[in-house]
Structure 1
């Protein structure tokens, strides 16, 4: 069960940027604020299996950054995706596709 979720998105203007502090859009939700669609997407995309950093800062300038931090009953999850758009266009990375679908659900549900 999700206790809380934070999603940061934006453009890191330099590699030494302190993610997530430099990112422009932040969503912070408690578990009770999550819609059924967000909870279902979290489970369907198996977000609890993902962690670490995907992508590289060298793909573009500025660096597109998505950062997800989730607290669950089983611990904490932290995932960063750098240059998501480039990864989606240039590779078949299934983990990033799963994260992309979840990020899109968040965006759609939260407007």
Structure 2
């Protein structure tokens, strides 16, 4: 069975001392509201195979936080990146570059 992308949840911001990720606002796109260019980027960058945690949580104060949850028909893929800017600069990790390209598309759709 081919899995459909049912929902995207994106939580992003700076975690100040004492803050929890849940304290940051979350933007949710469901069904047909998921931007077509984001769906295309998720597929092009093969994000469904990149679930996990990236970056260094201790590389800054406050900590830059990105959390992307891709809810599929029968599965969920969650990607967390700490200090994305630093990770991009300091690492040669193609996975982080692929994640970054998709997150930039989501950043462009935020109207909060």
TM-score, with structure 2 as normaliser: 0.88
Please name the residue that 2:23 is paired with. Answer: 22
| Contact 2:56 2:87 (8 Å CA) reproduced | no
RMSD over equivalenced CA pairs, Å: 1.5
| Contact 1:38 1:109 (8 Å CA) reproduced | no
Correspondence list, 1:20-99, <5 A = 21-23=22-24, 25-99=25-99
| Contact 1:64 1:82 (8 Å CA) reproduced | yes
Displacement of 1:17 after TM fit? 3.8
**What CA distance in whole angstroms lies between the structure 2 residues aligned with 1:6 and 1:88?**
22
Q: Where has structure 1 moved over 3 Å in runs of 4 or more?
A: none
**What CA distance in whole angstroms lies between the structure 1 residues aligned with 2:36 and 2:29?**
13
**What CA distance in whole angstroms lies between the structure 2 residues aligned with 1:69 and 1:9?**
12
TM-score, with structure 1 as normaliser: 0.89
Q: Which runs of 5+ in 2 are unaligned?
A: none
Provide, for residues 11-68 of structure 1, a one-character-per-residue CA deviation record: whole Å limited to 9, x for no partner.
1113x6432x122x42101021012211100100111001111012111110000001
Please name the residue that 2:14 is paired with. Answer: 11
**What CA distance in whole angstroms lies between the structure 1 residues aligned with 2:61 and 2:20?**
16
**What CA distance in whole angstroms lies between the structure 2 residues aligned with 1:17 and 1:109?**
25
